[in-house]
Chains A and B, each alone.
Chain A
Amino acid sequence: MSAHNRGTELDLSWISKIQVNHPAVLRRAEQIQARRTVKKEWQAAWLLKAVTFIDLTTLSGDDTSSNIQRLCYKAKYPIREDLLKALNMYDKGITTAAVCVYPARVCDTVKALKAAGCNIPVASVATGFPAGQTHLKTRLEEIRLAVEDGATEIDVVINRSLVLTGQWEALYDEIRQFRKACGEAHLKTILATGELGSLTNVYKASMIAMMAGSDFIKTSTGKETVNATFPVAIVMLRAIRDFFWKTGNKIGFKPAGGIRSAKDSLAWLSLVKEELGDEWLKPELFRIGASTLLSDIERQIYHHVTGRYAAYHDLPMS
């Protein structure tokens, strides 16, 4: 993992003049899906690359240690062994980028991963996920407990009401405190873009989150009605680039929610490649939060190798 983002002083002039033209961004988002088509071996390579960006996630009320264990195994062995062998990629150590769970399941996850014998980072959501509508004190405590349990990445949700009412200083201070509570763990800030109202707000919230010291900015919780969409991503990526130009810090990007098909994941990769460049295409700077995406990628690779489409029962569950 790269070094932490130390953040900067709050500088509201960075966000005061920003203009985002909604239809123009929508057009760009439409284009980007059609502009880069990869096929055959190239597609397989991109799909394997996409696997290494996945934060394999389970965030449901009925999570128990047994399905966490299954998930961890899947994170360690995301693609069926024989398929990787056929691709001659067996010894490259392909795993997902992290496993993402609720705070209460962090202990189980750490244990299961240890049992599987790997050091995949454990990410935990925190701060009153998904709504963020609890007291600041409990939210901070939640982060501390998750870190104590062994989570090395914390996905926090921001307080949307601060964005909608334009209280940027308060938002900055809050994320600052999250940052402090995280200690050595990485801070991923979920902006919940589906609830921010406009793309201009998305840009501003992204900038504030980065100034306050987030290591990643993440589109959404996966629990809103509108999740990761391309227009929002374009705005966030442009904010990341602007922040990089201003400070020299590279901040990561994590779309989450609603990314289900292998084709989608390729579009996300090409989007990041187009807007930020190849240096962002590594697990330290790009993640995809998903739960069912992996099985579709595996099916596509199965098809690439065998020429047939797999039934879901042909592939191991996650």
Chain B
Amino acid sequence: MSPPRGFWVGVELPQLLLIPFPNCLYLPQAWLDTQDRCLGHYVNGKWLKPEHRNSVPCQDPITGENLASCLQAQAEDVAAAVEAARTAFKSWSAHPGVVRAQHLVRLAKVIQKHQRLLWTLESLVTGRAVREVRDGDVQLAQQLLHYHAIQASTQEEALAGWEPMGVIGLILPPTFSFLEMMWRICPALAVGCTVVALVPPASPTPLLLAQLSGELGPFPGILNVISGPASLVPVLASQPGIQKVAFCGALEEGRALRRTLAGECAELGLALGTESLLLLTDTADVDSAVEGVVDAAWSDRGPGGLRLLIQESVWDEAMRRLQERMGRLRSGRGLDGAVDMGARGAAACDLVQRFVREAQSQGAQVFQAGDVPSEHPFYPPTLVSNLPPASPCARAEVPWPVVVASPFRTAKEALALANGTPRGGSASVWSERLGQALELGYGLQVGTVWINAHGLRDPSVPTGGCKESGCSWHGGPDGLYEYLRPSGTPARLSCLSKNLNYDTFGLAVPSTLPAGPEIGPSPAPPYGLFVGGRFQAPGARSSRPIQDSSGNLHGYVAEGGAKDIRGAVEAAHQAFPGWAGQSPGARAALLWALAAALERRKSTLASRLERQGVELKAAEAEVELSARRLRAWGARAQAQGHTLQLALQTGREPPPIWRVQKALLQKFTPEIKDGQRQFCATSNYLGYFGDAKNRYQRLYVKFLENVNKKDYVRVCARKPWHRPPVPVRRSGQAKNPTSAGGSSAPPPKAPAPPPKPETPEKTTSEKPPEQTPETAMPEPPAPEKPSLLRPVEKEKEKEKVTRGERPLRGERAASGRQTRPERSLATGQPATSRLPKARPTKVKAEPPPKKRKKWLKEAGGNAAAGGGPPGSSSDSESSPGAPSEDVPTRKSPCPFCLVLEAQYGLACTDLSTPSSHLLHQPCLFMI
């Protein structure tokens, strides 16, 4: 028996020694052996290994050992993959959402079964710490699949009027390829798109994922992965049938791709750059903020470096703690179970070396510490301070694992510094004062903001970027819309003008001669370009003749140029703050006024369209549709401006729902009612709250729309979840397609119409197929089931109630709730005390915190056992005349409840009354 290594009693304990390399290397190597150490592409459920292709070695980033060789794809391989995806799209998108949901859940289970292989392989080839991959990426991947499975299963109702785009081209970066891929393929597959992913060579994890998905059976072609160089990106993007390209990677590549794709038919979604930002104020818990810095930059969680802004009054303290903490970081081989940081290969190491050397030469102080191997690809955690603000390094993107710290004096200055960069990825604000944190959070021009945390990810919360960091959203409902388009929209066509030269476009003076007299309608249309609210003469002071459908001269329009475009963009920029600062109601009113104006000129507009070769009927329909869309979006602006959406997530415990409610009420109202706080959310915002007294843990807040500056937060129980009142399905009664937009009723107080531009052709035929319990997916249990399994007796009880008989207490609790009028959740008296009355008699009152867990479980169990209370859809079916707008239907449970059910096994017991529903999904703050 060998003596224990590491220390002898009485001798100081030395540094933790490196663990002998664990034998988990075996698993990925065995998998690579099944491919004979030669990885091809995974297309249409099969490995594709074409002959005569170049191959690139896939290396261990730390030892440089050759793990396998990867074949580089060529154009015909790309074409084959796209063809497979197009074929698969036909059947995949035609299946009901429930079938897709089942498939995604099965994929999640397969990932669960092979997670060890996934995490060891990912850690082996990327060099990241295995702990991060194991506890972070792989778990998140499963959550993503489950979340999107739920979205898919409710797609027919929730996303009626939208259809999948088609084949999605996905371009992935070398690091984090697995997770970035999951963020994109989950929503795409859920809504019915199919995917062709192009991964850089030597990234086998996406290939493994594709294999796992392909071997699931009936839908082999939905996920195809090819590996190839960056030069294939334009090839993939311009394949016929690719409707959208989602790119994730470096800024320059994204820019080049944007230029290549200009005028092509494929849409482009970009997620660029890796840098993130941390704002440390003087009211923060500095030690915890230091942990946030570690999470952001000195671990393998985040992809990039960090810009750290520290308030001057805590600068010394924060720097001391940072340096102390850095000394305890440990770097080493990714598969070692006791490292904080791995290494990311030679290229990344060179990049950071260059950056630090340059920063030093520009006058910065560099501090490095930690237990780091001295070999080449390892780089110690680095803290750069005193970097002059004007130096090139201060403008450049910070690479991993570097933190660039700089001080600020006031919150205003912090915002100026933080926003003074072209990048706008993610940021976190550290402050124990909620008001200050929120104010800073709104002021930051970034896609994602965490408060008192960094780098938390949750499938139900959309994340994205703004400014140079891209323009696409992942996760949550917003992520779904990335891969959807309004039903009936024709597929995008390429409008590329081959002879267009970007460098001279719009600069040359056009040479147009009069081509004949104008025969347009009288009075003659005004001459000029409409910019900034008025007609302006174009810079070229020249005109261009336009022809009607039969080739005759129609009239002359102003000839615009590059300068005019610039002027127009500038005008739009200037108008933005004013428009964004308008209250949602005002914006809605303006859109409605515009719609009304369109309708007044309906005949004129239609006749003009007719002259351009459109049939009169189609022209009229087009004008009508335009007006209706304006109305729909106006109403949506109004509805969503009132919605503060919260998604709640905790660790293993069931979420403490009541606490959140109460805590938020207490938290928001005093902070905001004092009149100091003004909220103007110009971008989506999500945050993380927590304080010492309230035990709720992770709480994301998101403002969907700008909120009125002048009003205070108050609670409103009337609006259901952000979902518009989906017309309640009535048996044998077809929906009138024109009823939604035909009237000219004023918008305020009207229930929000569906968040979609409607198309008259589709609405009548968009009946989702009836879900039967047999086809409902087994896991996670869809909350629709109870209502579909609704027994007839409950119906009778229901009638009893409406007749006025008082049923027994238990019955009343189970069935009579929707007869209560909706109640507002008054600030002083949280509804927690009321709800138990409506619960089954077993539960008398809100239990004390200790028992709450059990009690919540019980509540879930009751619902599962009793089939739940009858949903409101039964209400409307039994009495079709009853007003039902405010009653959320069982058919459209809130996503929050679904997440509850999927992740914690809690059944949502009462979706039937607005007020009890409210308690489940704390979304209803009217601002």
Q: Interface residues, chain A, CB within 8 Å of chain B?
A: 19-28, 30, 34-42, 44-46, 48-49, 52, 86-89, 92-94, 198-200, 238, 241, 245, 273-274, 277-278, 281-282, 305
Contacts and interface: CB of A to CB of B under 8 A. Distances in A.
B693 A37 contact: no
A34 B131 contact: yes
B283 interface: yes
B395 to A, nearest CB: 31
Nearest to A201: B692
Given A20-B288, A42-B5, A44-B4, 4 more contacts: A21-B285, A23-B698, A27-B291, A89-B9
Interface in B845-877: none
B216 to A, nearest CB: 31
Contact of A21 (B14, B320, B651, B691): B691
A200 B8 CA distance: 38
B9 A278 contact: no
Contact of B651 (A30, A94, A277): A30
Interface string B693-729: 1010110000000000000000000000000000000
Contacts of B688: 23
Interface residues of B, number: 49
Contacts of A39: 19, 22, 337
A38 B5 CA distance: 12
A113 B691 CA distance: 48
Nearest to A88: B3
5 contacts: A19-B286, A36-B338, A42-B5, A241-B324, A278-B15
Given A21-B432, A93-B10, A87 B285 contact: no
A28 B4 contact: no
B20 interface: yes
A87 B9 contact: no
B663 to A, nearest CB: 12
Contacts of B6: 41-42, 45-46
Contacts of A92: 8-10
A22 B4 CA distance: 38
Interface in B316-370: 320, 324, 328, 337-338, 340
Nearest to B12: A278
Contacts of B513: none
Given A41-B2, A41-B4, A92-B8, A22 B690 contact: yes
Contacts of B13: 49, 273, 278, 281
Interface in B628-653: 651
Interface string B17-40: 101101000000000000000000
A36 B5 CA distance: 17
A238 B287 CA distance: 8
Contacts of A274: 328
B24 to A, nearest CB: 12
Contacts of B430: 21
Nearest to A301: B4
B472 interface: no
Given A39-B19, A42-B19, A49-B9, A21 B288 contact: yes
B691 A41 contact: no
Contacts of B4: 41-42, 44-45, 48, 87, 89
B340 A35 contact: yes
A40 B430 CA distance: 40
Contacts, number: 122
Nearest to A235: B287
Contacts of B691: 21-23
B16 interface: yes
B452 interface: yes
Per CB-CB distance, the 9 closest pairs between chain A and chain B, nearest first, are A23-B690, A24-B288, A45-B4, A37-B337, A21-B285, A45-B6, A88-B3, A22-B692, A198-B692
Contacts of B776: none
B17 A305 contact: no
B693 A198 contact: yes
A87 B284 CA distance: 48
Contact of A42 (B17, B287, B324): B17
Given A39-B19, A93-B10, A281-B13, A24 B692 contact: no
Contacts of B283: 19
B381 to A, nearest CB: 15
Contacts of B7: 45, 49
A23 B452 contact: yes
Interface in B208-260: none
Q: Is the interface of B mostly helix, strand, loop or mixed?
A: loop
Nearest to A47: B4
Nearest to A83: B1
| Candidate in A45, A245, A274 with the most chain B CB atoms within 10 angstroms | A45
Q: Interface centre among A24, A94, A198, A274, by most B CB within 10 Å?
A: A24
A86 to B, nearest CB: 5
Nearest to A95: B9
A171 B9 CA distance: 38
Given A34-B131, A36-B16, A19 B284 contact: yes
Contacts of A25: 285, 288
Contact of B1 (A23, A27, A88): A88
A34 B285 contact: no
Contacts of A26: 697
Contacts of B9: 48-49, 52, 89, 92-94
Nearest to B693: A198
Contacts of B692: 20-22, 198-200
B503 interface: no
Nearest to A30: B651
Contact of B453 (A27, A48, A86, A241): A27
B51 interface: no
A275 to B, nearest CB: 8
Nearest to A200: B692
B131 A24 contact: no
A37 B19 contact: yes
B135 interface: yes
Nearest to B14: A278
A94 B37 CA distance: 51
A49 B4 CA distance: 11
A19 B3 CA distance: 45
A34 B284 CA distance: 26
A198 B285 CA distance: 14
Contacts of A87: 1, 3-4
Contact of B135 (A34, A38, A88, A199): A34
B780 interface: no
Contacts of A35: 131, 338, 340
B200 interface: no
A32 to B, nearest CB: 10
B292 interface: yes
A220 B574 CA distance: 61
Interface string B423-443: 000000010100000000000
A285 to B, nearest CB: 12
A198 B324 CA distance: 26
Nearest to A274: B328
B291 A28 contact: yes
A186 to B, nearest CB: 20
Contacts of A34: 131, 135
Contacts of B287: 238
Interface string B755-778: 000000000000000000000000
A192 B19 CA distance: 37
A44 B7 CA distance: 10
A94 to B, nearest CB: 6
A19 B16 contact: no
Contacts of A278: 12-15
A42 B338 CA distance: 12
A277 B328 CA distance: 8
A88 B4 CA distance: 8
A86 B19 contact: no
Interface in B389-448: 430, 432
A88 B5 CA distance: 11
A48 B13 CA distance: 12
B576 to A, nearest CB: 35
